[in-house]
């Protein structure tokens, strides 16, 4: 399998002969492996400390909550791998939320609301890409400005939150309903199914298609990619649009869960998402990062927060612990780089 490039050194001949040694090495030497080990350890610990943790209800509530972060983080991974960034995804939660909810109320039709949400995503993505690529302004700055503008548009659109007036059953199901029942496990919520499907789709795209390869090449060395015949601006534009559309989709799930579109939704969401992507092993220098790493990082942060709640710890610790996990991850990464003699 062509693993996306990580910092690990390749297995030695002996390790290749002994798959177990290779697996152990993967677990302890790669970002994904370490995250998996920590996640499993955390789950075992929480299961011991709290009887509620391993319950079907808690697990699926936990996963539902994380699904929105996961969906946006998938797009953000593509974008960061392509050496760009999007700080406007938090503001998108508010903007798309109120606009889509308004559309739902006006049309009483689920697909109309969804279409409006996704179109808003495409529009913002194209603006981000256009300003970054055509005017050649750093995407950090462009999307920082869009972070203000999009949030402001949400407020301009409505001074208060937009309630769900028509109580469309199919709409509410997206956030709170169940897709199907897994025998022996339980009823799987729609948000989890949607997130899983998107993860699978983009995992395939990133690893198995020429587009995915181009994303890595464009982020790793844009000049080299261009001189190899890759349309750098096109690839980056697609990444911007994908990120915004996924942010819009997450916003749609969010309004369904809250049953209202709120113009103050998503404060600080962009930094949570970016934090998770980087914790998952992506590098702001581009060309590095995997969706598996991102997913594990999202799960780890979500489980930590869940654990804090279950153990009756002051929920204010959640924020601090999230930050600490990011600092520790970056510290480990810095040490690993140094031991490999980079920089």
Q: Considering only residues 82-121, where is the footprint of other proteins by CB under 8 A?
A: 87
Q: Report the alpha-carbon distance of residue 17 to residue 6 in Å, rounded.
A: 21
Q: Is the Cβ of residue 193 or residue 321 nearer to other proteins in the bound state?
A: 321
Q: Which stretch binds other proteins (CB under 8 A): 113-121, 170-178, 209-217, 243-251?
A: 209-217
| Contact track, other proteins, 6-25, x by CB under 8 A | ---xxxx-------------
Q: Which stretch binds other proteins (CB under 8 A): 28-36, 49-57, 105-113, 214-222?
A: 214-222
**CB 286 to other proteins: min, Å:** 8
Site for other proteins in 252-281 (CB under 8 A): 263, 267-268, 271, 274-275, 278
The residue within the footprint of other proteins, chosen from 123, 149, 309, 310 (CB under 8 A), is 149
Total residues in contact with other proteins, by rule CB under 8 A: 82
Q: Is the Cβ of residue 192 or residue 274 nearer to other proteins in the bound state?
A: 274
Q: How many CA atoms lie within 13 A of 266 on its CB side?
A: 33
The answer to the question of residue 80 lying near other proteins (CB under 8 A) is: no
Distances (CA, A) of 152 to 36, 94, 294, 322: 39, 10, 30, 28
**CB 32 to other proteins: min, Å:** 14
What is the pairing mode between strands 186-189 and 162-163? unpaired
Site for other proteins in 303-322 (CB under 8 A): 314, 316-322
Give the rounded distance of the alpha carbon of 195 from its chain centre: 9
Q: Report the alpha-carbon distance of residue 43 to residue 40 in Å, rounded.
A: 5
The residue within the footprint of other proteins, chosen from 45, 119, 193, 284 (CB under 8 A), is 284
Task: Single out the residue of 268, 253, 261, 264 nearest to residue 97, CA to CA.
Answer: 261
Task: Single out the residue of 151, 159, 156, 149 nearest to residue 95, CA to CA.
Answer: 151
Give the rounded distance of the alpha carbon of 337 from its chain centre: 25
Q: Is the Cβ of residue 134 or residue 187 nearer to other proteins in the bound state?
A: 134
| H or E element that contains 328 | helix 317-339
């Amino acid at each position: 399998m062509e693993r996306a490039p990580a910092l690990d050194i390749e297995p030695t001949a002996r390790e290749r002969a002994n798959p177990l040694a290779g697996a152990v090495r993967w677990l302890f030497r790669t970002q994904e492996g370490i995250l998996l080990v920590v996640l499993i350890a955390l789950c075992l610990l929480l299961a011991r400390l709290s009887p509620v943790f391993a319950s079907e209800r808690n697990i699926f509530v936990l996963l539902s909550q994380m699904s929105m972060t996961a969906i946006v983080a998938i797009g953000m991974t593509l974008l960061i791998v392509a050496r760009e960034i999007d700080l406007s995804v938090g503001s998108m939660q508010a903007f798309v939320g109120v606009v889509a909810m308004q559309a739902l109320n006006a049309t009483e039709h689920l697909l109309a609301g969804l279409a409006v949400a996704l179109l808003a995503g495409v529009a913002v993505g194209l603006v981000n890409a256009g300003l970054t690529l055509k005017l050649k302004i750093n995407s950090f700055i462009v999307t920082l400005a869009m972070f203000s503008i999009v949030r402001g548009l949400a407020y301009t659109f409505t001074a208060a939150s937009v309630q769900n007036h028509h109580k469309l059953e199919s709409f509410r199901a997206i956030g709170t309903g169940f897709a199907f029942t897994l025998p022996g496990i339980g009823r799987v919520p729609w948000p989890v199914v949607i997130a899983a499907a998107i993860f699978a789709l983009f995992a395939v795209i990133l690893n198995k298609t020429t587009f995915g390869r181009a994303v890595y090449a464009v982020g790793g060395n844009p000049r080299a990619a261009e001189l190899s015949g890759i349309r750098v601006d096109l690839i980056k534009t697609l990444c911007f649009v994908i990120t915004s559309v996924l942010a819009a989709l997450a916003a749609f799930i969010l309004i369904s869960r809250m049953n209202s579109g709120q113009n103050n939704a998503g404060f600080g969401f962009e930094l949570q998402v970016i934090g998770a992507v980087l914790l998952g092993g992506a590098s702001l220098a581009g060309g590095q990062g995997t969706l598996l790493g991102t997913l594990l990082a999202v799960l780890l942060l979500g489980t930590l927060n869940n654990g804090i709640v279950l153990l009756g710890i002051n929920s204010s610790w959640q924020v601090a612990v999230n930050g600490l996990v990011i600092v520790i991850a970056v510290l480990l990464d810095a040490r690993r780089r140094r031991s490999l003699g980079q920089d």
